[in-house]
Amino acid sequence: MRRFLVAGNWKMNTNRASGQDLAAALAENAPAAEDGVEILVCPPHPYLTTIADKVSGSGVQVGAQDVYFEAGGAFTGEVAVDMLKDVGCEYVIIGHSERRHVIGETDEIINRKVKAAIAGGVKVILCVGELLSDREGGNTESVLDAQMSGGLADISEQDAKELVIAYEPVWAIGTGVTASPEQAESAHEHLRKWVANRYNSTFSDQIRILYGGSVKADNAETLMGQANVDGALVGGASLKPELFVPIIDAARKLASA
Ligand code: 13P
């Protein structure tokens, strides 16, 4: 069975003190690694070390929200994979829709980042998702296919072993409008079939596909209860323990069912 992954993407939020408080509360809630649920927080880069220290030894892992594909050198403002590893990051989010649509990242850049992270031994959460106009135009699946083909170009099954996909429909991010369980399941099923076609069905059975986009305590269990939904990538509701812990609890409940 695939292990649930519940990840908090803090985006450009928190400060040192509030991030520490949040991390401490989550570590207290998950004092040790859990069989059924993996828990991850992705703070802003400046706080990675502090947060990694806070959750050290608990069941909460730390990831980054982005990385650069070069190993080091004259790339002002960028952060390398080895640096993330050095401060204790297990995961890195790559290709988030805010990076695609606000910062202008292309599939080619995303692919280079995915390759660099894999080569450096940091697990990747690759985000894909359609705009509202894509969905309304009936293009959801072709957009997902293009993002998957672009992001995973020249990446072997062996290299993709630790990969996690996050389906985040752009129209559901930060809007309070969540994809219906049917919409989420249909996209996840499509993505899993894409993986089966590109790689094979053994691998597509193993790969985890998270849902992201206005996940809250009251919709988490239904969304994660879908056959092809293996966890959640949570934005706004990951910023307060009283909002995030119930989402983790929903995964715990499903994992023990
Ligand atoms: P919200 O949960 O705030 O909609 O954000 C989702 C997201 O973008 C997680 O990466």
Q: Residue 174 C-alpha to ligand 1 middle, in angstroms? A: 6
Q: What is the pTM of this model?
A: 0.98
> How many other C-beta atoms can be found within 10 angstroms of the C-beta atom of residue 75?
12
Nearest CA to ligand 1 atom 2: 235
Nearest atom, ligand 1, residue 97 CA? 8
**Nearest to 23, CA basis, from 35, 11, 37, 40:** 40
Cβ-contact 40, 7 below 8 angstroms = yes
User: Could you tell me which residues come within 8 angstroms of residue 173 by beta carbon, excluding any fewer than 6 positions away?
Assistant: 97, 98, 129, 212, 213, 214, 235
CA of 87 relative to ligand 1 center, distance in Å: 24
Q: Which of 165, 173, 244 to mutate to test the pocket of ligand 1 (most atoms within 8 A of CB)?
A: 173
The set of protein residues with a Cβ atom below 6 angstroms from ligand 1 is 9, 96, 168, 173-174, 212-215, 233-237
Q: Domains for the chain: give ranges and CATH numbers.
A: 4-256 (3.20.20.70)
Which residues are part of the catalytic machinery? 96, 168
Q: How far apart are CA 63 and CA 238, in angstroms?
A: 14
The per-residue pLDDT string of the chain (257 residues; one tens digit each, 9 = 90 and over) reads 899 999 999 999 999 999 999 999 999 999 999 999 999 999 999 999 999 999 999 999 999 999 999 999 999 999 999 999 999 999 999 999 999 999 999 999 999 999 999 999 999 999 999 999 999 999 999 999 999 999 999 999 999 999 999 999 999 999 989 999 999 999 999 999 999 999 999 999 999 999 999 999 999 999 999 999 999 999 999 999 999 999 999 999 999 99
Helices in 152-240 by DSSP H: which ranges? 181-198, 201-206, 217-224
Phi-psi region of 77 (alpha: psi -120 to 50; beta: other; left: phi over 0): left
